[in-house]
Amino acid sequence: MRRQIGILAALIVLSVLARAESPVDSLTIGDFTYERVTLLQFKDNQVTFTHAIGNKTVPLTVLTRGQVAALNSSTDKAVIEADDVDLTPPSPEAVQQAGKMIQTAGDVNGLLPNGNTPLIEAASNGWDDVAKALIARDADANLKNGSEQTPLMAAAAKGYSKVCRLLTDSGVKIPDLKTAMLIQDVKAIRELVLKNKTLLKTVDREGMTPLMRAAASGQPAVIEALIGSGASVKEQDPVTGTTPLMAAATAGQEEAMKTLISRGALIEGKDKTGWTPLMHAAASGRTNAVALLLGKGAKISSPDGGSAIDLARQKGQPGVAEMLEKVDQSLKEAALAAATKASNAAAAKVSKPKARVPKSAVPAGGAPAKIPVAEAGVKDPLKKPKTDASNPDGKKTPEISGWLYILLFAGFITYVTGNLWMVVSAWKESIGWAIAMFLFNPLPNVIYFFMHMRETWIPFALMCVGGTALVVLAFLAGIHF
């Protein structure tokens, strides 16, 4: 029996091990093919696996979707998460170009005649497909050229966001806020600003803060991350007075403008020259930005005499000027129509003049005769209003609702029922008590109740309920006893 249990346990262990580790027969990356591959670790977009002759760590970006699935099936101890990473293999042309660059440099990490490594050269030219082929052939993404530039710095300097994303997905650390903004890495932005708040106040070569740069580049997610990290939506360039909204309007970045306005950006804010965001958009010919600002209530002309129409014409934007002129004319017509309507409404509220008494209507003795009513609907000032015979003062008698009458009647019936019940109860004992209770109600009833509480509590309760209801309802109906 013990032997059978031991064999069964061994089979279970072997089955678990067999299921847990099913090595991939072969895995080709770049110029190398690895045999009997098993996934060991996945961290910071770096994949580590074991193969027939040792271990190897490669960037996630050099793998294909099929290779990721195969590695994940090789073990249950680690899992590669690659949902947000582009794992499209490089084109044959990119692979061929990468090979030529390696041959010229003498090595994948060698130097080209201009002092760049093949990967730095690809990054500085925005060749993301070639860069992917070089990384697959073990190009070092951290090497620098003579100008102390890494591939990521070279790509970020020229705004090649796709190459930057490829390099960061390959495990390269984001070095600065500019790069984090370029690839719109919200998490990295928050981490960098959290470590150094002064980054929000830095100014680039064009005099823009990070928030202004994000606004001009049309990066709503970056704008939200910067504002959430402490950037002010109302900040102004100390030299020009430019605001982030003005930067977005100048570039025609609608989504960035919407984000800034929703976070409290001043639509009528002015720079040092007196320009508003609408004027910046008009001067740059950004009809979409102009329409957005007009829809948010921006004014075409400012009180100090500046006009977006004149500015658009001065800057050679006749289409925007015509657009603004039409809107301005429509606004003026709408304002005039509203003013006319208000004036007519005010005039209609003025009461009509009273009918004058003609001289012929007054007799010689001076006693006024009956004044004719000239117009229908005009009351005779000498005619007294009719009065009801029952109400000689002419005051309107308040009406009592029908439900109050019903409740009053119900209260009266309840009170009378309780009273008669007590009279009948007293009659059986004493005729004098019965007569007194009937004639001088309710005082005798109360005295008799305290003398015979056990026999008379029910009728006395009916009297109390009915009497209370009568008093309350009478008060509500305005009847005073």
Alpha carbon 402 to chain centroid distance?
53
Kindly report the backbone phi and psi dihedral angles of residue 225, in degrees, each rounded to the nearest multiple of 5, phi listed first. Answer: -65, -40
Helices 254-262 and 244-251 sit at what angle, rounded to 10 degrees?
160
pLDDT, tens digit only, all 481 positions of the chain: 555 555 555 555 445 444 446 899 999 998 889 999 999 999 988 999 999 999 999 999 999 999 999 999 999 889 999 888 889 999 999 999 999 999 999 999 999 999 999 999 999 999 999 999 999 999 999 999 988 889 999 998 888 989 999 998 888 888 889 889 988 989 999 999 999 999 999 988 888 999 999 999 999 999 999 999 999 999 999 889 999 999 999 999 999 999 999 999 999 999 999 999 999 999 999 999 999 999 999 999 887 768 999 999 999 999 999 999 999 888 888 878 877 777 777 777 765 555 555 555 445 545 444 444 444 444 444 444 454 444 555 444 455 566 777 777 787 888 778 778 777 877 777 777 778 777 777 777 777 777 777 777 787 787 787 777 777 766 666 654 4
Place of tokens 């895995």: 27
CB 247 within 8 A of CB 215: yes
CB neighbourhood size of 57 (10 A) = 12
First to last CA, the chain: 106
Report the DSSP beta bridge partners of residue 28. 33
Residues 6+ apart with CB under 8 A from 110: 102, 117, 118
Distance of alpha carbon 248 from alpha carbon 215, whole angstroms = 5
